[in-house]
Structure 1
Amino acid sequence: MITNTELERKGDLYPLNIIDVKREGDSVFFYAENAVILKLTVFRDSLIRFRFTTKGYFNNDFSYAIDENHSRGFNKLELEEDADFYKVITSKIVCHVSKKDLRHSIYDLDGNAILEDELGFHWEEIYEYGGNVVKMSKVSKDGESFYGLGDKATHLNLKGKRLENWATDQYAFSKDQEPLYKSVPFYIGLRDKGAYGVFFDNTFRSFFDFSQERKNVTSFWADGGEMNYYFFYGPNMQDVVTSYTDLTGKPELPPLWALGYHQCKWSYYPESKVKEVASKFRELQIPCDGIYLDIDYMDGFRCFTWNKEYFPDPKKMVADLAEDGFKTIVIIDPGIKIDTDYSVYNEGIANDYFCKRADGPLMKGKVWPGECNFPDYTNPLVREWWAELFKELIADIGVKGVWNDMNEPAVMEVPNKTFPMDVRHDYDGNPCSHRKAHNIYGTQMARATYEGVKRFSYPKRPFVITRSAYSGAQRYTSSWTGDNVASWEHLWIANIQMQRMSLSGMGFTGSDIGGFAEQPTGELYARWIQLGVFHPFCRTHSSGHHGEQEPWAFDENVVDITRKFVNLRYQLLPYLYTMFWQYIDEGIPMLKPLVYYDQEDSQTHYRTDEFIFGNQILVCPILEPNSKGRRLYIPRGNWYNYWTNELVSGGKEIWVDTDYDQIPLFVKEGAIIPKYPVQQYVGELDFDELTLDVYFKNGKETSVVYEDAQDGYDYTKGRFSLRTFKMTGKENELIVTQHKEGKFITPYTKFKINLLALPFGIDSIQIDNEDVNIADLKLNNDNTLTINKDFSEIHIKGN
């Protein structure tokens, strides 16, 4: 027998000796003699939950992060007993649980260790808070890599890092600064080229140490709550990410306009300034769909009000902007001004909707309006009240989206930048202090906002964006990375943050293009635009305190570059929309770091700059000033230079020359890339053909194009169009087949097909087994042909 005394290290306590084991349905309970219980639940054959308690019973099982619609069900669950451990066996993995101390290790079916406990679960009594710090440590192998954890401002590979999850208003944060605005306690481990994932679903302040303190140990711990984590087995990183995204949920499709370009500043006012900015975009022919109103549109920063001096008739202004294709998005913060002449404040007081201190009085803090109270968004009654407050903004005035800021929650003029820890929260009937609710406060605000915007936007789709988020927030909202800086270092950070957010289940994310704090040079702004158009959320935003940051605030070169790349984004909208559909349908990240794209290639494990946009476009931004090119890594396979159509074989690092108005872009051979004509805003043009750029491959490749009505919910009833194109290329032959699903009839009738890098001259063309006159297809010298969109097979023969 072993005792606590033998195992204590620095005051830590450990489970002792299993005395009983029970199987109940999909769970196995392991009871230790010192009141520790491990509940091991098999969600799927490759997804296991480990939940510990140290007091002999479990509290109510409740999580804001887990999507109630996630997939469950397994093929096999067997429990076996050996001399020193129990074995829990599924059809994918085997878990050993030590009889001595509940330490557990997970193996694949060939007996290879995937993840093993080092000290395993242990805890420390913290009498200051009357609870435990819960801890877990795992063995980390030499060469193991780690990814994930949301928008951390550090290297993509987290090996050797220690990181903290505590949502914090970090204005002008710096590289490696911790913590930031979001808490996403999910990481991916890559060991021996096999991937697994860990999601530590604990909303208290938490920490992750990836072999920084001890070389071959990875650990995570939290200042309270349970040791409650999920283990995902790959072995492909894609399986880990899609499984985590399924568990924590996926969004609905955004309206297509939300994927256009957006313009924002702190702040556009009065109305004449807003209209001036909007008209300048149209004058310069730079596409733009969204324009944002920051806090100055309000009356004294009171949420849900308008400053009538600046905006005498907001409904007319919003309608005028809409007439020109602009959707208006307004900011809403959580702080409600203490003002007895203010109806929102009075309703909150009358119904007891505001957060309170432990000894009774309302939580009071200073933000933009001055002294404020703060709604408790963890109370379902408060969320319902909050949702109803959007009726006037959305249904009456016509605002199309809402931007939630300051929802970490941020409080000014206090050292910890947020609520006191004794503030109480309802937590959906599981009352707790702010220590537990802090990290999910912003998510629950965004959830309440989403429910309101959706209710009053219907039958159109809502658009919400949040600064603070916890795992699962992606079900309700898009996000951005907060108050960054106009610097080259922050351009590098933004590139990594977007890749990391995509891996962490929150795909619909962007950075403030050009930087929020300080003022970019024209060159920096141009390079940021060239990156930002390849991020799912694309918005320029600045503090406005150091000068203007619209594209025309710089020289004509920058205007031209902005137009060129925003035009490219609008051409690629059907490709981007298809990426988004694959994200919500299958949980596939929209941006793929090279390690995700090809984890078998160890050269990718520390790459940070290059990423795959969707499935078939390689983007490598220019991240340094005065660059006429750069070195980059081309992943394995063959890729066409987007600008020259030159074919490059991958699996190696190359130098690419590039002009000021370009960045290195490559398209995977065999890809079929859909393009719309350039529009100044989504829905501006009625067009009769969709362009398909067909990149020849000697071999086979599949591409898909998803389309629907671009807004509304008919797509959920089968009214969508999903086209699957299969290319087969040979030395003197090209065959493209099309398979169609869905009931949506696209408004265009033709495809304009660009046959790129065809290695032969065209002798004959058959469409659906019928010879066609090449002249009838408008085939010209650059191998472009126009055909009916409903073809099943194109067969091209050459010489």
Structure 2
Amino acid sequence: MAPTSFFKRALPLFSFQALTHGQQSINLANGLGASASPRPSPSVNTVTINGTPTTFRDIFTMPASVDVGADLLPYIDDPEAVDAQTVCPGYKASQVEESDHGLTAVLTLAGKPCNVYGNDVEVLNLKVEYQSANRLAINISPANIDASKSSWYIVPEELIPRPKGESSAGDTDLEFDWNDEPSFWFSVTRHSTGDVIFSSENTKLVFEDQFVEFVSHLPEDYNLYGLGERIHDFRLNRNLSATMYAADAGDPIDRNIYGHQPFYLETRYFETDEQGRKKLVKKSQLNEGAYGTGQHHQRSSYESYSHGVYLRNLHGQEPQLSSDRITWRTIGGSIDLFFYDGPTQPEVTKQYLKSLDALPAMQQYFSFGYHQCRWGYHNWTELREVVETFRAFDIPLETIWVDIDYMDQYRDFTLDPVTFPLSGVKEFFDYLHSNNQHFVPIVDSAIYIPNPQNASDAYDTYTRGNETGSFLNNPDGSQYIGAVWPGYTVFPDWLSANGQAWWVKELVDWYKEVPFSGIWIDMSEVSSFCVGSCGTGNITMNPVHPPFSLPGEEGNKIFDFPEGFNVTNATEAASASSASSSQASKIGATAVPPPSTTSYLKTTQTPGTRNVNHPPFVINNVQGDLAVHAVSPNATHANGVQEYDVHSIFGHQILNATYQGLLSVFPGKRPFIIGRSTTTGSGKWSGHWGGDNASKWYYMYFSISQALHFSLFGIPMFGVDTCGFNGNTDYELCARWMQLSAFFPFYRNHNVLSALSQEPYRWASVAASAKSAMQIRYSLLPYLYTLFYEAHTTGSTVMRALAWEFPNEPLLADVGTQFMLGANILVTPVLEPQVDTVKGVFPGIGDGQTWYDWYTGARVDAQAGVNTSISAPLGHIPVFLRGGSVTPLQEPGYTTTASRKNPWGLTVALDGEGKASGWLYVDDGESIEQEATLEVSFEARDGKLEVEVEGAYKDTNVLGNVTVLGVFGGVGDVELGGKKVDRKNVEYDEAMGVLKITGLNHLTKGGAWKCGFTLSWSA
């Protein structure tokens, strides 16, 4: 979890001791936490500090038991679990009415209710819509919805927009079919190929108030991507329970974590036979010539078709993948399915995002600079020292971030009066802003509730929210009080009438004190450190300590280091190993756990009612009980909706509220927000970081797959905690990671309190690696910015899988160790310790694709379908340019502001026919609505480059240089706009085919893009 800490300002004064108290029991029937015995009052003590008598009180530490829920056995692990497919009757269709735009029908239970994990809904409505040329919608919902009974919850349009039909619906390539034998089932077919992309044939539809199940068959060796959020390989495994329930969990592998993204992309590869028929390609057909075998793969007539599937449902879900099917289960809601026919990945993603009005936010230019953060920056002075040290080492730094250290006792919209006093704000920010640098603070999702018996504990943010009815309640109408970092807390109710307006005003007022540039939203799943309303009746004890020890506290030291540390850091490793062994001996051996005697809670359904705290179907939630480390499912919103029905949208809603707040803080400017919990459409407001990873090589490895999945989800502004959050990094891991993250859209280094500092200047090798990679990144800022403009206007991706850019190569389907940045840049990072080479494939070579080394400009010598060994000593990350591309560049400066004032450059990478193309988008870098823009297109052929310019935006930077790769056969006079370029400014390496043209400044006075021109070089 990004922030954790405890009252740093008072640390020397408070004693962190748990007072003796009765075991807390939680009454989940009404959501209230009740004490089995009265809480003792904290004792008051007086000590003398620096000659001054000081009164303080012991801090009550919540017992670990407050965050322990019921023992539940997930369905997938329960040997006695009932298979609904074998006991439920399914449905029969009647009253079928067809039209040009779809059909409607009534589905009636085909037999006796099974009530296996809830109460069967006897009558359903089916509605099928051909919504557009590329989209089909299938909705199955209860026929008689009684909102007063809340037996089921249908997602309102105002929370998550529902795609609407378009006039092009009659041209759709998707076909819906259904059958009633042995019970109702349906299929979706791609008309142009005859391929069935979804079919529930010979399976049952199960629809209960707390359990919905439907199944689709999948082809052998299918390629499925998405269904987030989790740490997982790029292509989803064929034995995976893809639980979706927003959870505050520190990046466990293959478990549900922060977000809820019920969308998947499936890609199928076909081969055309001699009769022109398309046959599905199986993995067994591709063994010969597979990457890594060293054998040449002869290309046949492969082509791919991709489609997308989205389930518009906010409830906890558990799609289960097996060898030949996907079984989709939810604990509520309706079946609201949308199919996107692509037929390519880029088209699927665009169709998906456009249908939801969820095109990614256009980011401010500064956001693409380098960001530095850590939990543990103690005061304004240290923060400034970090900024100054970056400059002393000449390592670019755009934005300094702070974790919860800056807050007054971890309360939102406050400053610690001792370590981050208001009096220090002007000096710090004057310095920062004078250097065109920025500041982003963390803001948590829970609000401290002050101690009513302590007048000095007053907290105006709470008071204003309370007065406007902006917080969640218990079912009985009392305030729901959980616990987070500051102690007992309340939680914003985004469904209340005033919740968003209250939040907006808090941001506006706080900016008057702290001139931030953006906001970092954390703990938004939403997280709570106790089960139920544990603060009810206990707020006179506030502030209280969380129910776990924090990094740096006694008995919670950090001795964890990356794999291979004992080799690359032998001396330090020996010391760390010794300390770790000593610590382990204190904890005691746990290698062989005692046999389990757990008696699991089994919930049975009650006719006509729901059990939201412990639903009968148990999803494999990472925290077990849905109320553990989260606001309880029966917490109640102002409109009567229970948290059970909208839990996973809290993070989405706080991002929306923050977006609206920043629009008020910075009228006319694009808000910059990075959030933790996301769902469908969150990318139109915010970026996302990968959460609480660890300083391990495998987390760096998985970061690529994380980023690619969030590309599918429409959140391209993605990055991870570079060098790792939890544990200690070392120089080798940090150097490699700083290089890799330089090619992620969001580039930030961040680590945990009390771990070793990991700013890149801490090691000479890391500083050198970071500077080298940043030099490339900052050169590419115009290209990256153009990619984001494309994403914002069309829904295209920024970081791309090789399989998406080269869709006719089946062997790329599971490559998650390399990636493309846009269409032009191929990145092949080192992802393991103690190596100086890395293997990578160069896609498209079988079709004539050419690749060039970024550093030398030399054409890559590689074979099709073969993993090539690439030199990659520490400090070097292999980067390649795609033949046929023109990449706009700008001379890198220390900040993005400085970079934007520097000369332009172009790299023209010719393909095998001597052609290349590309484009550039330019605007002011911050405004939502632009007064003027520039769009520059580049087209190279026949030994010349044609540049065309459209738009009125004034950019006065000159063109400094042009590099042309793949120029063989000689070079003649070089001319720009009909004027010869001095031969001393022309450097040509005929053997490598690299032409470098410099000294163009005087030929482009007034601005490189003032008007179009031609640059020629042919012999």
Tell me the CA shift for residue 561 of structure 1. Answer: 1.1
Q: Is 1:319 matched with 2:430?
A: yes
Structure 2 length normalisation: TM-score?
Answer: 0.71
Q: Is 1:135 matched with 2:213?
A: yes
Tell me the CA shift for residue 470 of structure 1. Answer: 0.9
Cross-structure match for 2:1014? 794
Q: Answer whether contact 1:395 1:456 (CA < 8 A) is retained.
A: no
Q: 1:779 to 1:67 in 2, by over 3 A?
A: farther
Cross-structure match for 1:725? 938
Q: Answer whether contact 1:20 1:32 (CA < 8 A) is retained.
A: no
Q: Is 1:447 matched with 2:526?
A: no
C-alpha separation between the residues in 1 aligned to 2:1018 and 2:919?
26
Cross-structure match for 2:681? 472
Cross-structure match for 1:680? 894
State the percentage of identical aligned residues.
23
Q: Is 1:667 matched with 2:881?
A: yes
Cross-structure match for 1:128? none
- 1:648-688 deviations in whole A, cap 9, x for unaligned? 35632211111211122111012222222221112136635
Q: Is 1:526 matched with 2:735?
A: yes
Tell me the CA shift for residue 119 of structure 1. Answer: 4.9
C-alpha separation between the residues in 2 aligned to 1:650 and 1:181?
41
Tell me the CA shift for residue 181 of structure 1. Answer: 0.9
Q: Answer whether contact 2:852 2:965 (CA < 8 A) is retained.
A: no
Tell me the CA shift for residue 797 of structure 1. Answer: 4.6
Q: Answer whether contact 1:639 1:650 (CA < 8 A) is retained.
A: no
Q: In the TM superposition, what are the counterparts of 1:450-599 in structure 2 within 5 Å?
A: 450-553=659-762, 555-599=763-807
Q: 1:222 to 1:412 in 2, by over 3 A?
A: same
SS of structure 1 residue aligned to 2:92: coil
Q: Answer whether contact 1:151 1:481 (CA < 8 A) is retained.
A: no
C-alpha separation between the residues in 2 aligned to 1:562 and 1:746?
30
Q: In the TM superposition, what are the counterparts of 1:281-680 in structure 2 within 5 Å?
A: 281-312=390-421, 313=423, 315-316=425-426, 317-339=428-450, 340=452, 341-414=458-531, 416-426=628-638, 431-553=640-762, 555-636=763-844, 637-648=849-860, 649=862, 651-652=864-865, 653-680=867-894
Q: Answer whether contact 1:46 1:233 (CA < 8 A) is retained.
A: yes
2:106 to 28, 31, 38: 31
Q: Is 1:170 matched with 2:383?
A: no
Cross-structure match for 1:51? 139
C-alpha separation between the residues in 2 aligned to 1:380 and 1:628?
59
SS of structure 2 residue aligned to 1:447: helix
C-alpha separation between the residues in 1 aligned to 2:158 and 2:804?
27
Q: 1:780 to 1:217 in 2, by over 3 A?
A: closer
Q: In the TM superposition, what are the counterparts of 1:239-250 in structure 2 within 5 Å?
A: 239-248=347-356, 249-250=358-359
Q: Answer whether contact 1:337 1:369 (CA < 8 A) is retained.
A: yes
2:917 to 702, 710, 717: 702
Q: Answer whether contact 1:638 1:650 (CA < 8 A) is retained.
A: no
Tell me the CA shift for residue 433 of structure 1. Answer: 1.2
C-alpha separation between the residues in 2 aligned to 1:266 and 1:527?
22
Which fold has the larger relative contact order, with Cα–Cα distance below 8 Å and residues 6 or more apart in sequence?
2
1:112 to 195, 214, 228: 195
Q: Answer whether contact 1:278 1:326 (CA < 8 A) is retained.
A: no
Q: 1:76 to 1:365 in 2, by over 3 A?
A: closer
Q: 1:28 to 1:66 in 2, by over 3 A?
A: farther
- 1:231-266 deviations in whole A, cap 9, x for unaligned? 111121111111112233023321111111000000
Tell me the CA shift for residue 750 of structure 1. Answer: 2.7
C-alpha separation between the residues in 2 aligned to 1:72 and 1:19?
23
- 1:745-790 deviations in whole A, cap 9, x for unaligned? 223133521223421332134545x3x3232894345631424324
1:251 to 360, 367, 382: 360
Q: 1:796 to 1:741 in 2, by over 3 A?
A: closer
Q: 1:564 to 1:76 in 2, by over 3 A?
A: closer
Tell me the CA shift for residue 124 of structure 1. Answer: 4.8
The one-letter amino acid paired with 2:224 is: F
Q: Is 1:97 matched with 2:178?
A: yes
C-alpha separation between the residues in 2 aligned to 1:498 and 1:353?
34
Range moving further from structure 2, 390-399 or 445-454: 390-399
Tell me the CA shift for residue 713 of structure 1. Answer: 2.9
C-alpha separation between the residues in 1 aligned to 2:84 and 2:675?
43
Tell me the CA shift for residue 459 of structure 1. Answer: 3.3
The one-letter amino acid paired with 1:62 is: P
Q: Answer whether contact 1:199 1:230 (CA < 8 A) is retained.
A: yes
SS of structure 2 residue aligned to 1:462: coil
Q: 1:134 to 1:322 in 2, by over 3 A?
A: same
C-alpha separation between the residues in 2 aligned to 1:200 and 1:121?
18
Cross-structure match for 1:759? 968
Q: Is 1:41 matched with 2:129?
A: yes
Q: 1:76 to 1:291 in 2, by over 3 A?
A: closer
SS of structure 1 residue aligned to 2:972: strand
Tell me the CA shift for residue 464 of structure 1. Answer: 0.9
- 1:159-210 deviations in whole A, cap 9, x for unaligned? 4122111111112x3332x111111110011123311111111111011222
Structure 1 length normalisation: TM-score?
Answer: 0.90
Q: 1:687 to 1:258 in 2, by over 3 A?
A: closer
Q: Answer whether contact 1:18 1:99 (CA < 8 A) is retained.
A: no
C-alpha separation between the residues in 2 aligned to 1:324 and 1:570?
17
Higher strand share: 1
SS of structure 1 residue aligned to 2:313: coil
SS of structure 1 residue aligned to 2:826: strand
C-alpha separation between the residues in 2 aligned to 1:687 and 1:350?
49
Q: Answer whether contact 2:155 2:313 (CA < 8 A) is retained.
A: no
Cross-structure match for 2:235? 157
Q: Answer whether contact 2:939 2:947 (CA < 8 A) is retained.
A: yes
The one-letter amino acid paired with 2:1014 is: I
2:268 to 184, 191, 213: 191
Cross-structure match for 1:18? 94
C-alpha separation between the residues in 2 aligned to 1:765 and 1:631?
38
C-alpha separation between the residues in 1 aligned to 2:496 and 2:969?
67
Q: Answer whether contact 1:119 1:137 (CA < 8 A) is retained.
A: no
Q: 1:556 to 1:483 in 2, by over 3 A?
A: same
Q: In the TM superposition, what are the counterparts of 1:197-212 in structure 2 within 5 Å?
A: 197-211=308-322
C-alpha separation between the residues in 2 aligned to 1:659 and 1:423?
54
Cα RMSD between the aligned structures? 2.3
C-alpha separation between the residues in 2 aligned to 1:623 and 1:376?
43
Q: Answer whether contact 1:688 1:750 (CA < 8 A) is retained.
A: no
